[in-house]
Every structure is written in C-alpha cells, then in structure tokens.
C-alpha cells in the first residue's frame, strides 16, 4: 500500500463523515495504522487536470510516482490512467487476482 499526504487526508475526511459506528479516536487509530503500514510518497509533480473528476487527480499522481495500481469502484473516471501504464481495477477484480495468485 502506498500513501501521500492528500490521500491520507481524503481517507480521514471520508471516514469522519459520520457514517460509521466508530469514534473519532478509533478513526484516527485506523488512519495511523494505514500510515504505519504504507509506503509514503511525496509528490513533486502534478498531472493536472487529467481525470474526469479533478478531485481524483492526486490518486493518479500517487499511482504514477509509486508505480502502483489503482483499486477503485470508480473505474470509469480513471480511463486516462492507462495511458501512464497504471492498471485500474475494481476491488472485486483485485481480490480475484489475489485469490488466483495463492
């Protein structure tokens, strides 16, 4: 797993929308755990605007920097990512790939 400061901020923002039965401290613990496990990346270049939703550009920038794939339910908005050699797949496709590799 790879993270950047904008991605961690997005995780925290989404998790704190009040839709989960977790306290703010529990959410902070989850975000801290993700940060402890993930490889951090500083993004020094910006590929903007690139995607259908400009709010997703930071995800593409991280994937390019980390040479990583993108796992998202929102595959259609990441069509241009393929031009950078970034694989985009749904969580289901990703889990199927993991299952086949074992």
The string of pLDDT tens digits covering residues 25-70 is 999 999 999 999 999 999 987 778 889 998 999 999 999 999 999 9
Counting Cβ atoms within 10 Å, is residue 15 exposed (0-12), middle (13-18) or buried (19+)?
Answer: middle
- pTM of this prediction? 0.82
User: What single DSSP character describes residue 72?
Assistant: -
Q: Are residues 57 and 70 in the same domain?
A: yes
Q: Are residues 31 and 51 in the same domain?
A: no
Q: Are residues 96 and 50 in the same domain?
A: yes
CB atoms within 10 A of CB 3: 19
Q: Are residues 57 and 35 in the same domain?
A: no
Q: Are residues 47 and 97 in the same domain?
A: yes
Q: Are residues 30 and 56 in the same domain?
A: no
Distance, CA of 90 to CA of 102 (rounded, Å): 19
Q: Are residues 61 and 82 in the same domain?
A: yes
**Domain of 16?**
1-40
Region 61-84: mean pLDDT is: 95
């Amino acid at each position: 797993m790879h993270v950047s400061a904008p991605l961690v901020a997005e995780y925290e923002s989404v998790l704190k929308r009040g839709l989960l039965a977790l306290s703010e401290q529990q959410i902070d613990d989850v975000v801290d755990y993700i940060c402890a496990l993930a490889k951090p990346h500083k993004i020094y270049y910006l590929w903007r605007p690139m995607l259908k939703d400009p709010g997703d550009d930071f995800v593409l920038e991280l994937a390019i920097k980390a040479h990583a794939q993108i796992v998202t339910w929102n595959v259609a908005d990441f069509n241009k990512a393929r031009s950078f050699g970034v694989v985009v797949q749904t969580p289901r496709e990703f889990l199927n790939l993991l299952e086949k590799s074992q």
